Amino acid sequence: MGIDSSSKWLLVVSHSGRGVYDLENGNRIARDYQILYPANGEINGIGPLEGKIIKVTERIIEEEINLKSPDGKYFITGTSDLIKIEMLTMPLHPTAAPRGG
């Protein structure tokens, strides 16, 4: 699994291909069934990551992967049958200052 530098996309690589997930809502937005494995901890992206090299962390059997997005907003846990995306920080919304007189 790997997260792009914008912290928007999660790339998952498995024995059945690659998938790209939107970290904001967890939806899978791209899928490729080509069997392709990382070389030196990197793999070519698909979908919105097409043309980009993504650094990935490989899972050893019976071990989970834990990743934090580059912007610190998300924490991702991956196992052989689960991807869990947790939001660590809520976006700040500006509030209008009260008008006084």
- Arithmetic mean of pLDDT over the chain: 87
The single residue listed with the structure tokens 């899972």 is 59
pLDDT score of 101 more than 50: no
Give the mean pLDDT of 58-72. Answer: 86
* 26: phi then psi, degrees, rounded to nearest 5: 80, 0
Residues 49, 21: Cα–Cα separation, whole Å: 11
Give the mean pLDDT of 68-88. Answer: 91
Q: How confident is the model at residue 97 (pLDDT cuts 50, 70, 90)?
A: very low
3-state SS assignment for residue 79: coil
Verdict on whether the full-model pTM lies above 0.85 = no
Residues 99, 101: Cα–Cα separation, whole Å: 7
